[in-house]
Structure 1
Amino acid sequence: MSTTKTYRIILSGGGTGGHIYPAIAIANELKQRFPDAKFLFVGAKDRMEMDKVPQAGYEIEGLWISGIQRELTLKNLSFPFKLISSLFNARKIINRFKPDVVIGTGGFASGPLLQVATSKGIPSLIQEQNSYPGITNKLLSKKANKICVAYDGLERFFPENKIIKTGNPVRQGLLDIDTKRTQAQTFFELDKDKKTLFVLGGSLGARRINELIEKELDFIIGHNMQIIWQCGKLYFDQYKIYNNTKHVQVHAFVNNMDYAYAASDIVISRAGASSVSELCIVGKPVIFIPSPNVAEDHQTKNAMAIVNEKAALLIHESDLEVDFENNFGQLMASAEKQNELSQNIKKLALVNATKQIADEVEKLLKK
C-alpha cells in the first residue's frame, strides 16, 4: 500500500503587506495542491504579519528582529542581540517543525530563518519582488535553491542558473475584479454617478501622500470624484476627521482590497513591487508616487518599468506641489488617456505568478 507524504512547509515574510500577502498567496496555492500539508509562518514580533497571517488561517511564530536603521541611531545598538536571538530561535523552530522546504518573501524575519534553513541543507526558495534586491537576499541567494523574480536583469545580483522569472504573487481575489464593481460600490456605499479615486501609500501609509490628499481634497472632489483613502494606521487618528467630509472615506487599512480596486476608476499609489504587480492585474489608470526613502530608490525603478510602457503616470514627491494638479486634471479630462493607461498596464500583468512559484516549490518538495 502506497503512502502519501505529508509535507511540512515554512514561509517567512513580513514587515509590510508587500511581503505578507505574497507569502499567503503562495501558501494558499500550495494548500490547494497538498491539502494535508502542514504550514507554519515565521515573522517578526510586533509587526503586522502577527495579525494578518492568523486572519488568513495560518499559524505564525515571531522572532525578535528588526532592520538596521540607515541613519545612526541607538536602535542599531540592539541589532546584534536581536540577530543572535533570531538565529537561535529560528534554529529551534526548524528543529521542532522539520520543514521539507522553506520559502522567503522578504522582510526582517526571512533572513535568519533562511540562513538557518540553508545551513542545514533544507531546500529553500527566495521570492524577490523588487527590481533591486536588498543585501539580505543577495547574501541568501548563494545558498538558496531557487530565486523567483519579477523583473529582468537580476542576474546582476543573483546566480543566473537559479533565477526564474515568475512575477509577484497577488491576492487571488484580484483576478476577477471586473465582475465585482457593483458589489464593491454597494460595500463602500459609493455614489454610482461619481468616479472613485483610491489612494494608498502602502499597507502602513505614506506621510507625504496623506499630506497631498489633505491639501488637494477640494480640487479632487471638484472633478466630480469621491475618495477611498487608505491612510495607514500610524496616521488614522490625524486624518479620520475627513470621514465627516462628503464623498471622502478614510480607512486605516482596507481589508477588502479587491472591492477597493473594483470600485476605483483612478488609483494613486506608492510603487512597492507587490502594489505594482497588483495594479498591472487590476488594470486601472495609476499615478505612482514612489517613496524616495528606500534602498537604491527601487520604487522609482519599479514605477519606471511601467511608465516606460506608457502604462502609468509618475510624479516624484519633490514635484508634487508643481505637477499634481496639472497631471491629475489632464488625466481626468481625457477618457482616451485613461483608457490607454488601463489597456497598457493590463498587458504587463503576470497573472500566473503564484502558480509558477508553487510549481518551483513542488519541484523542490519532490526532489
Structure 2
Amino acid sequence: MANYRFIISGGGTGGHIYPAIAIANELKKRYPKADFLFVGAKDRMEMEKVPQAGYEIEGLWITGLQRKLTLKNLMFPIKLISSLIKAGNIVTRFKPDVVVGTGGFASGPLLKVASGRGIPCVLQEQNSYAGITNKLLKDKVAKICVAYDGMERFFPKDKIIKTGNPVREDLVTLNVTKEDAIAFYEMDNSKKTVLVLGGSLGARRVNALIEEKLGYFKKLGIQVLWQCGKGYIDEYKKYSSEDVKVYTFLNQMDKAYAAADFIISRSGAGAVSELCLVGKPTIFIPSPTVAEDHQTKNALALVKENAAIMIKEEDLDRDFEKEFGLVFNSEDKQKELAKNSKALALPNATIEICDEIEKLLN
C-alpha cells in the first residue's frame, strides 16, 4: 500500500477545523500508513484542537484583513510574505501528494504555494456563500467540494462537486440514547431540554438572550444545556444549577445532541450540516457580523424547506418567545421540522470528498 502524504489546511473556527479532521480520519482509514500534516494559523483554536485529535500541526503567522484601517492591516503584507515563505518550506520538506484546504486564512498561502508547484489541491467550501480565501484559490485547484446548490456563482462549474459538509463521525451514527445523554450531564430525564450553541467561540447576543430567558424556560419546565464559549464562561457560570448546565465548550457533541429536545444555534455551515443530520427542532440566530452575511443565507436554505426557524438578532426581543412557544406547544410542528431537516442531510460528505481526493492520487 502506497505511503501517501497529505497536508490539510484550514482553521480559525470549528467550522473549518472539524471538516479538516473528519477528512483526515477517513483518509487514515483508507491509508493507515499515510503521513499527515495540518497547517493552521498561529494562536488560533486549531493549534489546540488538531493535536487533541492526534495529528501534528504547524502554524503560519497569518491573520485576515480587518474591514477598517488597523495596525493588524498594516502588518498584513509582512505576515503574508512570512506565511508564503514558511508554506514553501513546509511543502518542500513534507512533499505532499495532495493538499486539502477547508477554508480560513492559513489555507490561502499553503494552497497557493502547493498549486504553484503542480501539487493537486482540493478545496472544501462549507458555506452557501463562498469565503474570500477559497474564491482567490478557485483557478489554482483541481476540485472544489461544496455543500449547496448554485455555487457556480463563485467557482468554475467543471471543478464543483456537491458532497455536503463533513461532520463528526459520531454524529453520522448518533447511537447515544437520550437517557444516557441526560445522565451524563446530570440532568432530569422527565424534563424537556433546550441545547444552546453559540459556535466554538461563543456568541454575545445568544448568551444575553439565554440569560434573559432563564425564567421563561423555568416557567415552561425546560432545562438548559448551554455552551457559552471561552470568552463568556466567567460571566455565565454563576447560572449553573440543577436545571441549567453551563459549559465553555461541549466536547462530546453526540451526547449534547442526544440530550436535546430543542436547539438554539448560530448558523455556521458546520452547525447547519450537523443539525440536519441530528434532525431536532432548531431555531437559528445567524451572526450578523460574518462576512457576506453567509450565516443568514445558510439558515434561509433550511427555512425555505420548512426545516428550521430563523430569528434575526434585531428581532429577538420581539419574536423569540412567540416563535419558541409555537414549536414548544406543537408536537406536529416539532415532527415536521425534524423530518424536513433530516431530509436535507448529506451524511456521506466525508466519504465522497475522500473519493475525490483518491482520484487525484492515481
Instruction: State the match for 1:74 in structure 2.
Output: 71
Instruction: State the match for 2:295 in structure 1.
Output: 299
DSSP 3-state at the match of 1:222:
helix
DSSP 3-state at the match of 1:84:
helix
Contact 2:125 2:131 in 1 (8 A): no
Give CA deviations for 1:67-103 in whole Å, capped at 9, x if unaligned.
1111232221111111111111001001000000000
| Pairing partner for 2:355 from 355, 359, 364 | 359
Q: Distance in 1 between matches of 2:44 and 2:292?
A: 24
Structure 2 spans left out of the alignment, 5+ residues: none
Give CA deviations for 1:152-207 in whole Å, capped at 9, x if unaligned.
11111101000000000000000122543222111111100001110011100100
Q: Distance in 2 between matches of 1:109 and 1:346?
A: 33
Q: Distance in 1 between matches of 2:68 and 2:239?
A: 34
DSSP 3-state at the match of 2:2:
coil
Within-5 A mapping of 1:193-208: 193-208=190-205
Q: Distance in 2 between matches of 1:47 and 1:221?
A: 37
DSSP 3-state at the match of 1:170:
coil
Which of structure 1's runs of 4+ aligned residues deviate more than 4 A? none
Name the aligned partner's letter for residue 268 of structure 1: I
Q: Distance in 2 between matches of 1:111 and 1:11?
A: 12
1:336 deviation in Å?
Answer: 1.1
Name the aligned partner's letter for residue 360 of structure 2: L
| Pairing partner for 2:285 from 273, 289, 307 | 289
Within-5 A mapping of 1:85-164: 85-164=82-161
Q: Distance in 1 between matches of 2:358 and 2:100?
A: 12
Give CA deviations for 1:261-301 in whole Å, capped at 9, x if unaligned.
01101000011011000000000000000011112211111
DSSP 3-state at the match of 1:106:
coil
- Give me the TM-score of the superposition, normalised by structure 1: 0.97
- Give me the TM-score of the superposition, normalised by structure 2: 0.99
Number of residue pairs aligned between Structure 1 and Structure 2: 362
| Pairing partner for 2:231 from 230, 234, 237 | 234
Q: Distance in 1 between matches of 2:110 and 2:40?
A: 9
1:223 deviation in Å?
Answer: 1.2
Structure 1 spans left out of the alignment, 5+ residues: none
User: In terms of mean alpha carbon deviation, does 112-121 or 74-83 score higher?
Assistant: 74-83
Pair 1:63 & 2:88 matched: no
Q: Distance in 2 between matches of 1:32 and 1:191?
A: 38
| Pairing partner for 1:9 from 6, 9, 18 | 6
Q: Over aligned residue pairs, what C-alpha RMSD do you find?
A: 0.9
Identity of aligned residues (%): 66
Q: Distance in 2 between matches of 1:84 and 1:238?
A: 39
Q: Distance in 2 between matches of 1:331 and 1:114?
A: 45
Q: Distance in 2 between matches of 1:171 and 1:333?
A: 31
Q: Distance in 2 between matches of 1:52 and 1:25?
A: 12
Instruction: State the match for 1:51 in structure 2.
Output: 48
| Pairing partner for 2:35 from 26, 33, 38 | 38
Judged with a 3 Å threshold, the aligned counterparts in structure 2 of structure 1 residues 220 and 71 are, in CA distance, closer, same or farther, namely farther
Instruction: State the match for 2:257 in structure 1.
Output: 261
DSSP 3-state at the match of 2:102:
strand
Q: Distance in 2 between matches of 1:172 and 1:5?
A: 25
Contact 2:104 2:133 in 1 (8 A): no
| Pairing partner for 2:182 from 161, 185, 207 | 185
Judged with a 3 Å threshold, the aligned counterparts in structure 2 of structure 1 residues 178 and 310 are, in CA distance, closer, same or farther, namely farther
Q: Distance in 2 between matches of 1:92 and 1:200?
A: 39
Instruction: State the match for 1:167 in structure 2.
Output: 164
